[in-house]
Amino acid sequence: MNDTNVSSSVLDRLSEEWDALTPEAQKAARYVLENPADVGVSTVREIAEAANVKPNTFVRMARQVGFEGYEDFRAPFREAIRKGGVSFPDRARWLQDIRKSGDLGGLYADMAQAAMRNLEETFAGIEADTLKAAAEEIWSARKVFVLGVGVNNSNARNFSYLASTGMKDFHPIPRPGSTPVDDLAWAGPEDALIAMTCRPYRSEVVEAVRIAREQGLRIVSISDSPASPIIRAADHGFIVAADTPQFFPSSVSTIALLETLLSFVIAVASDEIVERVETFHRRRHQLGIYSEDAE
């Protein structure tokens, strides 16, 4: 379940009121933001136990964001459950078959199921207008800094590389031998930062987003929770599902979202971008970068 199935206004209110909540209430809010499906089926005592807070904390949190109490707060989540979801019987049968195919069949099925579920949950929670607004911000920026560390460093560099086929001044950071904060030293209100990190959140990314906010950059953040510090600091925040049977968070949804975001940037860009892309690839053919098929 995601915020489009529940009631986006409820989850939005939690995010908006985050800084005004007490640390205990933030623990309750974080649990709701990250586990909305549990709200509709849990009593206040059950969900408080799961979130490791007292039941009264959930009651106070609900009142803080404009509800009379927990039952009133829970109503939109129960309605989402009542409406039900989409059934995928063919996919279910396929997954069951490969689970029986050998010792690694179960792992293969779990990985495939996680990847598809992550994509579905990610794109179900994002509206085209939201992507368009972020794309327009990126296209109008003087410079665009794309920040990722660890596995997300390659995602940031891939996005910047693809963008550079038709656009100038895309800068993957951190640069070799540098730090994200150093790379943003001379950035300002005319620039934009695309930042990404999933739990456990990388401190250098969180700090860079904070600095970018202070310097007036427009911030597009990609993370795995509405409670993520870089989402709460963003002008445009996108939640990706990153669950996986393996140890590290999955990058499938992040890569798919970045590809989609780039397609939106190209869609909102001026007509000259088509000519730029054509010129870029024509020059690569002329330089012999591509291996041409034999006639």
Residues 38-68 have pLDDT tens digits of: 887 778 888 899 999 999 999 999 998 888 8
Residue 2 lies in a domain: no
Note whether 178 and 260 are same-domain residues.
yes
Question: Which pLDDT does position 87 carry in this prediction?
Answer: 39
The total of structural domains in the chain comes to 3
Last residue of a domain, one of 30, 55, 83: 83
Determine if the peptide bond prior to 55 is cis (ω within 30°). no
Last residue of a domain, one of 83, 108, 136: 83
Residue 2 confidence (pLDDT) above 50? no
Question: Which pLDDT does position 167 carry in this prediction?
Answer: 80
Last residue of a domain, one of 23, 58, 83: 83
Note whether 70 and 166 are same-domain residues.
no
Question: Which pLDDT does position 12 carry in this prediction?
Answer: 83
Task: Mark 162-173 as b/e (b = at least 16 C-beta within 10 Å).
Answer: bbebbbeebbbb
Question: Which pLDDT does position 97 carry in this prediction?
Answer: 59
Percent of the chain with pLDDT over 70: 85
Note whether 214 and 144 are same-domain residues.
yes
Residue 293 lies in a domain: no
User: Residue 125 corresponds to which amino acid?
Assistant: G
Residue 268 lies in a domain: yes
Domain that holds residue 269: 128-285
Note whether 46 and 94 are same-domain residues.
no
Note whether 63 and 95 are same-domain residues.
no
Note whether 175 and 30 are same-domain residues.
no
Note whether 261 and 165 are same-domain residues.
yes
Rounded Cα distance between 251 and 230, Å, is 17
Residue 55 lies in a domain: yes
Rounded Cα distance between 69 and 63, Å, is 6
Question: Which pLDDT does position 88 carry in this prediction?
Answer: 43
Residue 291 lies in a domain: no
2, 124 contact by CB (below 8 A): yes
Average pLDDT over residues 15-33: 90
Residue 3 lies in a domain: no
Map tokens 């293969």 to a residue: 108
Residue 126 confidence (pLDDT) above 70? yes
Note whether 164 and 278 are same-domain residues.
yes
Segments in the chain forming alpha helices (H): 8-16, 23-34, 36-39, 44-51, 55-64, 70-83, 89-99, 105-124, 128-140, 151-163, 180-183, 203-214, 229-232, 252-268, 272-286
CATH code, domain with 248: 3.40.50.10490
**C-alpha distances out from residue 194 to 46, 152, 198, 212, 224, Å:** 38, 11, 14, 10, 15
Query: pTM, whole model, 2 decimals?
Result: 0.71
Rounded Cα distance between 79 and 72, Å, is 12
Note whether 151 and 191 are same-domain residues.
yes
Classify residue 72 as left (phi > 0), alpha (psi -120 to 50) or beta: alpha
Per-residue confidence band for 285, with pLDDT thresholds at 50, 70 and 90: confident
Residue 178 lies in a domain: yes
Q: Is 146 helix (H, G, I), strand (E, B) or coil?
A: strand
Q: What tens digit of pLDDT does each residue of 222-233 get?
A: 999 999 999 999
Per-residue confidence band for 69, with pLDDT thresholds at 50, 70 and 90: confident
Residue 227 lies in a domain: yes
Residue 100 confidence (pLDDT) above 80? no
Per-residue confidence band for 136, with pLDDT thresholds at 50, 70 and 90: very high
Residue 294 confidence (pLDDT) above 50? no
Poorest-pLDDT segment among 10-14, 210-214, 286-290: 286-290
